[in-house]
Amino acid sequence: MEETSQRVALVTGATAGLGKAIAAELGRRGWWLCLQHADAGPAGDEAAAELTAAAKAGGHKIEAEAFAADLEDTDQREQLVENALETFDRIDLFAHVPAALSATAGDLLEITPATFEQAVAGQLAPALFLTQLVANEMVRLVEGGLVEGAKIVLVNSISAYTTSADHAAHCVARAGLGMLTRLFADRLGEHGINVYEVRAGILSAGPHDPAHARYDELIEQGLTPIRRWGRPADVARAVAAVAEDLLPFSTGEVINVDGGFHLRRL
């Protein structure tokens, strides 16, 4: 592809769920999209076509390309970033949505090294090393005058500070992700690259979720001041606010998208 002045976002987990919602919101705002997905099947091409069509319906002609990559694999992380740059020549925004983990539940007093290592390998390590790769390329692009105002957004959850003793490994990984935001913000500030954490609250997975009825009741009883479920679109709009440079004098900031769950109330 010829060099472009269009803004390009690299979004992980972008063919479903939260990642796709973020990509869709950016596409509607005219951002060109590089979509990472883990499935080697047709999901990537289908999502790219869908997001391109949605952007066009909103009045924007964009390019969207999807690349399959296992983010736990060093070589595939490197290939993803290489593909993004070969295709678009630039990365203006990196939005990382950690992969969901399975089989991490278990009593804290019985957690095994394997379970803990799975959480670190599946969520924390990919976030660190993929962000590192992208950050180095962003520094090169910014210092070369090819990109201005590059930004990184790490999407996290309230598990970063909310205890769940039967999901301890997950909580530790999410707490580590919060520290990564601060570390990268500190390191990249001198290069004019701002880093943010968007911290999501309780998001609806639909009535089929076994926990749905329980949280319905808790939310109704005031678990969150805003008494409704969170939606992927809520998180996507927060990422878009960063992307559109509405927080230019903030970095290392946590943007809570949790209905007010983080408030300490009496």
The per-residue pLDDT for 3 is 47
User: Cα separations (Å) of 194 from 125, 224, 235, 238, 243?
Assistant: 21, 29, 18, 15, 10
Whether residue 263 is contained in a domain is answered as no
Dig out the tokens for 241 from the structure. 């606010």
CATH value at residue 82: 3.40.50.720
Beta strands, E only, 52-191? 64-68, 93-96, 151-157
pLDDT tens for the chain, residues 1 to 266: 444 569 999 999 999 999 999 999 999 999 999 999 998 789 999 999 999 999 999 999 999 999 999 999 999 999 999 999 999 999 999 999 998 876 567 899 999 999 999 999 999 999 999 999 999 999 999 999 999 999 999 999 999 999 999 999 999 999 999 999 999 999 999 999 999 999 999 998 777 777 788 899 999 999 999 999 999 999 999 999 999 999 999 999 999 999 999 999 88
Task: State which amino acid sits at residue 42.
Answer: P
Whether residue 248 is contained in a domain is answered as yes
| Number of domain units in the chain | 1
Whether residue 67 is contained in a domain is answered as yes
Domain residue limits at 94: 8-257
Q: What are phi and psi of 158, to 5 degrees?
A: -65, -10
Q: Which residues pair with 80 in a beta bridge?
A: none
Whether residue 262 is contained in a domain is answered as no
Whether residue 266 is contained in a domain is answered as no
